[in-house]
Amino acid sequence: MKTGHRRRLGLAIIVAAALTPCCSWIGANNHSPNTLLVGPPGPPAKLPTPEIKPPAPQPKPEPPAGPEHTSVPTAKPVPGKDGYVFSPFNNKLIDVKDFKSGALVSDPRFQLSERKFFRVP
């Protein structure tokens, strides 16, 4: 054989190897080259499904027993004057027109450091 033929033959082998898929057995099983095969061909095996249990019911939290929840007095309405109440702390007249019934209000007669709160009737 001449040297030119050897070069051509070597070049043909390199080109054929580049064009041939590296895993020829994938094509034999009718799978695409991008499919990863794990195990024998056939239907997929069924995996056991885990048992799902509903969460246990949580006990309802009790409201905190702080002084603001247990010892807040309710003011007494002034008869004949809507929007005015008597303070439960010093029995003074307080304007509560802008507050809804049940709202927590501080008595304006006390200093900020000694604030006292009451509910609007």
Q: pLDDT for 42-97, tens place per residue?
A: 676 677 777 888 887 877 766 655 555 557 899 999 999 999 999 999 999 999 99
Q: Establish if 62 belongs to a structural domain.
A: no
Q: Establish if 39 belongs to a structural domain.
A: no
Residue 99's domain comprises: 68-119
Q: Establish if 52 belongs to a structural domain.
A: no
Q: Establish if 38 belongs to a structural domain.
A: no
Report CA-CA distances (Å) from 88 to 33, 51, 67, 111.
85, 60, 16, 16
- State yes or no: pLDDT of 24 exceeds 60: no
Partners of 86 in the beta sheet?
76, 93
Neighbours of 56 (CB within 10 A): 6
Q: Establish if 85 belongs to a structural domain.
A: yes
Per the structure, the count of domains in the chain is 1
Task: Enter the pTM of the model.
Answer: 0.42
